Amino acid sequence: MTQRVRSNPDGRLWEVQRRISWTRPAMADQFEHDLAAGYVSGIAMLGILAVLILFVVFWTPTNVVIPPWFVLLLLLVLLLLPMLWAVQRPWVITAATDGEYWEGIVRGMAAARDEMYRIVDDLETKGYPNEPHGPLTRVR
């Protein structure tokens, strides 16, 4: 999502943008634990889960009756886990104008939306996109 903002103190036009980051960047406090930052481990886990589900389905005796609510519950769990994963992905927020470029990472879709609204409000009132403890850092 991109939003254009005109700052009141100096009249500059800022472009604030947020986008999902599919590769997980290594943060300073998570660097030692970030061994598999790509999507390979997720695909491997999905493959293992598919093999286990097929194992249970094909090894079930024919006279066992599986209630429909149980199948719906399994489908709900299988759809809920990827949704939770996608919602908690890191988001990259950028604020750019002529001569300045700020960038930061926020974890979670709702937190990224709230942070973007706060940055837009700061730009409109103060003229700069970051309070002292915000996620944005000046790149150039």
Contact between 138 and 101 under an 8 Å Cβ cutoff? The reply is yes
Residue 15 confidence (pLDDT)? 94
According to the model, what pLDDT value does residue 18 have?
94
pLDDT in the model for residue 26 = 59
Contact call for residues 102 and 92 (beta carbons, < 8 A): no
pLDDT along the chain (140 residues), means of 10: 86 92 63 56 82 87 89 88 82 92 91 93 86 84
Give the pLDDT score at 17. 95
The whole-number pLDDT of residue 96 equals: 93
Q: What is the predicted pLDDT for the residue at 53?
A: 85
Domain boundaries, the chain: 2-21+89-138, 37-87
How far is CA 2 from each of CA 80, 89, 122, rounded to the nearest angstrom? Answer: 28, 18, 16
Evaluate whether 19 touches 91 at the Cβ level (below 8 Å). yes
List the 90-97 sheet strands across, edge first: 2-6, 13-20, 90-97, 100-107, 137-138
CB 7 within 8 A of CB 127: yes
